Amino acid sequence: MIKILYFARLKESLAKTSEDFELPYAIFTIASLRTLLSSRGEAWNREFGEGGNLRAAINYDVAREDSVIKDGDEVAFFPPVTGG
Partner 1 sequence: MPVRVQTEDFDAGAEISHLRQSRRDVGAIVSFIGQVRDINEGDDIAALTLEHYPGMTENALENIVSQAKQRWGVFEALVIHRVGTLQPTDQIVLVVVSGAHRSEAFAACEFIMDYLKTEAPFWKKEKTQAGERWVDAKSSDDAARNRWNQISNKGNR
The SS3 assignment for 54 reads coil
**Which residues sit at the interface with partner 1, rule CB under 8 A?**
5, 7-9, 57, 60-62, 76, 78-84
User: Minimum CB separation from partner 1 for residue 17, in Å?
Assistant: 11
User: Minimum CB separation from partner 1 for residue 61, in Å?
Assistant: 7
What sign for the dihedral angle of Cα 21, 24, 25, 28?
A: negative
DSSP 16: -
- CA torsion, ordered 22, 23, 25, 26, to nearest 10 deg: -120
Nearer to partner 1, 18 or 26 (CB): 18
User: Minimum CB separation from partner 1 for residue 25, in Å?
Assistant: 26
Nearer to partner 1, 17 or 39 (CB): 17
